[in-house]
Structure 1
Amino acid sequence: LALLCQRLDDLWVEYAGEVVLFAWMQFLKEGTLEYLKINSPYEIQLCEFGPKCIKNNLGISDSCSATGPAEAVIWDTRAIQDVESVTTLIDCILDFNEAQQKKCFDSKSYMCDICFSEKVGSECTHFKKCEHIYCNACLKDYYTVQIQDGQVQALNCPEPKCSSVATPAQVKLLVGEELFSRYDRLLLQSSLDLMADVVYCPRPNCRTPVMLEPGGEMGICSSCKYAFCTLCKLAYHAVAYCNITS
């Protein structure tokens, strides 16, 4: 990066008094790899020490020198990596890109295929998988009915035969905190109901999910500490025969 900064400075001097932006763009797009003698963008070697090798605000370091610690290297402070890792940098870029896409989406107008009204993007929900767009008012009414009826697995895109599903964040934004709590609880319950090794505490005022041991017939509620038989759901009777099996 320090070499790139130096090359951009050289172009600035060459184009003194003229527009240099396009020359910069052309160099960065077409000449960067060749200038740095990089055969592939996947072979870029990062500084082993990263930002920790910088000793002061002048960018002087004695730990990244190719000739040893005795010779100090002056780094271009514009080229210093100020993030912890490349992964963090990529995450920042992706977050910024998503924010810009959202900003662009919010500023445009879209036709809702339910109410056939034109709404700005900030009043609409975009299903990224299928690219369908509906206004928030219509989706709120649609999802509210589904949640109240307990159909939490059906919060998908209203388009017929479309398999796109609304994310929990989208559902929460549309229906509000109270209804979302019901949705979240029912969704968890429906998922637990599909698990063979999970039962609910038999006590009516508890109903906490209990994970069963493989082959075991005793369940212990982690909430109320009630020990029960997983077959008859009564208090655990140890070696006594269970009414369900006797």
Structure 2
Amino acid sequence: MTNLEKQTDEILALRSIFDTKFRLLDDNNQYEILIDFDLIEPFIIRYNDERTIINHLPPFTLIIHYHEKYPSDYPPSFMLSCFYFSKSSLQNLCQKLDNYSFIKDEVCVYDWIELIKHEITNEIILQTKDDEQINDLRALNGYSNENIDQIYQSLINYNNEQHDKQFRNQLQTCLICTDIIPGMDFIRLHRCGHFYCRSCLNNYVKITLNNGKFGEKLHCPQHQCQKALPPNEIKQIIQDAQLYQRYERLTLQHALESMNNVIWCPRSVTNRKEK
């Protein structure tokens, strides 16, 4: 087989494996692959004195450029991009790919991808110092001291988004009615993480409000869970403008009545309260 035929076959194989994570950039000579890290165990991010456990990491980008001597004589050209790897970490990874035992006449991109995946252990330490003086132009988008705070928060946000997406795409069991339905028909409570189908949670909130419980007295339905439902969740659950206005009015009234430095305004015909 000619080099061009082997390159074409490799592209077909990689496209089949990575599907939407594969994208041609320049005819059949250049493409990028988004590499997902399969985290079997929870992953730890350390930054300053903070320690965060996550289950999802954003993909790593590998850009490949074919030349006429691949794979007969030399490996392809490449670039690496990952916003949560430091510049020096990306440059070290470039060196590892350079040192990879390339076998002439054999394609190597999938082996490179496996090598990159093994670079992720179970912990990333975001450091504010980067003493590496080498400037390898193949290492793109490594973080700098100026944006490290943003990188840390981006990793947390991505993990939360993927966790919610995974929840919505799977079947879940309602903790009230025990029905098994798609996660997209559930509401997960922010403060405690308990989740219920929309119908059960809607009925629970309406009954609880009708029984005179509101504000901090309106808790998660789970037995012994004392986490109150915040107003934005109440609004999302009941989806009833009039009932929500009643909830706000009762909550405000209760709050005013509990304040010792608030008295009735003698000039108000509506019995308003003011300081």
TM-score band, normalised by shorter chain: 0.5 to 0.7
Tell me if structure 1 keeps the 8 A contact 2:167–2:183.
yes
1:108/1:46 CA distance change after superposition, 3 Å: same
SS in 1 for 2:187: strand
Q: Which moved more, 1:147-156 or 1:77-86?
A: 77-86
Q: CA deviation at 1:4?
A: 1.9
Q: How does 1:122-161 map to 2 (within 5 A)?
A: 122-127=184-189, 131-152=193-214, 153-161=216-224
Higher relative contact order (CA 8 A, sep 6+): 2
Tell me if structure 1 keeps the 8 A contact 2:91–2:136.
no
Provide the aligned C-alpha RMSD in A.
3.5
Q: Distance in 1 between matches of 2:240 and 2:146?
A: 36
SS in 1 for 2:234: helix
Residue 214 of structure 1 aligns with which residue?
Answer: none
2:98 is aligned, of 13, 16, 22, to 13
2:152 matches 1:87: no
Q: CA deviation at 1:130?
A: 5.0
Q: Which runs of 5+ in 1 are unaligned?
A: 34-40, 48-63, 67-72, 212-246
% identical equivalent positions: 22
Q: How does 1:100-119 map to 2 (within 5 A)?
A: 100-119=162-181
1:152-179 deviations in whole A, cap 9, x for unaligned? 0432222333323323332111112512
Tell me if structure 1 keeps the 8 A contact 2:219–2:226.
yes
2:128 matches 1:45: yes
1:82/1:137 CA distance change after superposition, 3 Å: farther
Q: How does 1:173-192 map to 2 (within 5 A)?
A: 173-176=236-239, 178=241, 179-192=243-256
Q: CA deviation at 1:139?
A: 1.0
1:92-143 deviations in whole A, cap 9, x for unaligned? 2222211111111111222224333222211112346655332110110111
Tell me if structure 1 keeps the 8 A contact 2:128–2:148.
no
Q: Distance in 1 between matches of 2:219 and 2:129?
A: 44
Q: Which runs of 5+ in 2 are unaligned?
A: 1-85
More strand by share: 2
SS in 2 for 1:166: coil
Residue 27 of structure 1 aligns with which residue?
Answer: 119
Q: How many residues align?
A: 179
1:176-215 deviations in whole A, cap 9, x for unaligned? 25122332332233223222112343413361x422xxxx
Tell me if structure 2 keeps the 8 A contact 1:110–1:120.
yes
Q: Distance in 2 between matches of 1:75 and 1:11?
A: 13
1:130/1:45 CA distance change after superposition, 3 Å: closer
Q: Supply the AA of the counterpart residue of 1:109.
A: L
SS in 2 for 1:20: helix
Q: Distance in 1 between matches of 2:135 and 2:98?
A: 21
Residue 236 of structure 1 aligns with which residue?
Answer: none
1:114/1:89 CA distance change after superposition, 3 Å: same
SS in 1 for 2:226: coil
Q: Supply the AA of the counterpart residue of 2:89.
A: L
1:129/1:206 CA distance change after superposition, 3 Å: closer
2:228 matches 1:165: yes
The TM-score with structure 2 as length reference comes to: 0.53
SS in 2 for 1:119: strand
Tell me if structure 2 keeps the 8 A contact 1:111–1:119.
yes
Q: Distance in 1 between matches of 2:146 and 2:212?
A: 45
Residue 4 of structure 1 aligns with which residue?
Answer: 89
1:41-84 deviations in whole A, cap 9, x for unaligned? 47x3347xxxxxxxxxxxxxxxx9x9xxxxxx967572454896
